[in-house]
Amino acid sequence: MARNHPTVIKGNTSEIRRFIGLPSLAKGIDGASSDQHDQALKDLILSLKQITTEYADTVFVATGKKDVIVQNDKHLILSNGVDELDKFVGTGDMVGAIITTLLAVGEDPWVASQFAISYLNVAAEKALSLTNGMENFRREVLNQIDLLGRNQQWATKIKYSNF
């Protein structure tokens, strides 16, 4: 692993916990809610900051009810989004695709990660406010991903903290 120098490593919180050797009760690709409580997130952030000494240029992204981004000694917790995203298979892939697209055009990995996560989550919040039922929600998330880019004020809705 030391020979590789990835730009961004992304997974749900449970996947990232397992990746760096922390325990998780998750099964399969779904994240475990026990990996999302405040102390579990603090442990994750601390462990990620330790691993960044070996991967100084890598941004680590752990998605879930609260999304965590860590690079070197800095971290950010994003808290937009809705529970329905957990029932929408492929949203992690969407975030990954947005991050990759931004990296391809030269965006900073730290900024690209924040933008991608927040963009999908804000689109999902808007979609949920307009729909009832998962089928309509899924379709409207995709619609809002398209429409959100036309609203330059969307970024004012981003919720973040450092604990």
- The four Cα atoms 139, 28, 17, 10 give a dihedral, to 10 degrees, of -40
- What pLDDT score does 1 carry? 43
3-class DSSP state of 43: helix
How far does Cα 12 stand from its chain's mean position? 7
In DSSP terms, 53 is beta-bridged to none
Query: Model pTM greater than 0.85?
Result: yes
Query: Residue 63 is inside which H or E element, if any?
Result: strand 59-63
Domain ranges of the chain: 8-161
Quick check: 95 and 117 in contact, CB under 8 A? yes
In the chain the first and final C-alpha atoms are separated, in Å, by 30
Q: H or E stretch including 147?
A: helix 134-148
Question: What pLDDT, in 10s, does the model give residues 38-53?
Answer: 899 999 999 999 999 8
Per the structure block, which two tokens stand in for 20? Answer: 């760096």
Q: What is each CA distance from 80 to 10, 54, 115, 146, in whole angstroms?
A: 17, 30, 12, 18
Architecture of domain 8-161: 3-Layer(aba) Sandwich (3.40)
Record the tokens describing residue 110, joined without a space: 């730290």
Q: For residue 9, which phi and psi values (nearest 5 degrees)?
A: -115, 120
> Are 154 and 148 spatial neighbours (Cβ–Cβ below 8 Å)?
yes
- Chain segment 97-126, per-residue pLDDT in tens: 999 999 999 999 999 999 999 999 999 999
- pLDDT lower than 70: segments of the chain: 1-3, 27-29
Residue 70: is it exposed, middle or buried by C-beta count within 10 angstroms (0-12/13-18/19+)? buried
Q: Are 75 and 162 contacting, i.e. CB atoms less than 8 angstroms apart?
A: yes
